[in-house]
Amino acid sequence: MQSRGPLMIEHRLIARMIALFDKALKQIDAAGKVDPVFIDTVVDFMRFYADRTHHGKEEDLLFQELRKRSLSAEDEKIMNELIEEHALGRRTTQALVDANIRYRSGDAAALSDIMANLRKLVAFYPGHIVKEDRIFFPSSRTYFTDEEDQAMLSAYWEFDRKMVHEKYNLLVKEMEKQNPSSI
């Protein structure tokens, strides 16, 4: 398997989740309400799978290695666009968190913000995935020897192996910050 393989496999799962967001939007619109726990689940997926696990491999490993190479102007431009797109995903997810907090507090107007941010994710991710799968990943592969590509693949597996520990260490730290009597 080439190192881009796991990234492309992760894209398939992200695309499936985005399709669920699209279905949920229709249900939310019809019902005029949303389950805040559903939004919590969306946020968890976006933060820890799409962003930290998937984008983490891209930004912390692939892009860092590519920065050491002489990229073509076009490849560097696309890589910088991808980094900005990842930041857009983070901002949209944070806006979803903020809207969900307001919604839980009884702010009815927050429902439209929740829907707008879900729509933004639904509109954004398919094109982002295509840009990576069909343009950037094939082009970026040319900057690595077969041995370097396999080393990158190994680094991806190691990154994933540590991810569950990172996630739950953060969870415990956040819970420790809370007042134990409120749990």
Domain that residue 165 falls in: 4-177
Cα–Cα distance for residue pair 156/131, rounded to 1 Å: 20
CA 80 to mean position of chain CA atoms:
16
Q: Is 183 domain-assigned?
A: no
Work out the percent of the chain whose per-residue pLDDT is above 70: 97
Q: Say if residue 159's pLDDT is above 80.
A: yes
Does some domain include residue 96? yes
CB atoms within 10 A of CB 145: 8
Residue 122 lies in a domain: yes
Residue-wise pLDDT tens digits, 108-127: 999 999 999 999 999 999 99
Whether residue 85 is predicted with pLDDT greater than 90 in this model: the reply is: yes
- 56 in any annotated domain: yes
pLDDT at 75: 97
Query: What's the pLDDT score for residue 74?
Result: 97
Q: Give the Cα separation of 104 and 109 in Å (integer).
A: 11
- Does residue 182 fall inside a structural domain? no
- Number of domains comprising the chain: 1
pTM of the full predicted structure? 0.90
pLDDT at 168: 87
**What is the domain-level CATH number for residue 13?**
1.20.120.520
User: Which residue, 57, 125, 58, 131, is CA-closest to 93?
Assistant: 125
In-domain check, residue 28? yes
In a domain, 127, yes or no: yes
On whether residue 121 sits in a domain, the answer given is yes
**DSSP character at residue 142:** T
What's the chain's average pLDDT?
A: 94
- Stretch 46-61: mean pLDDT, rounded? 96
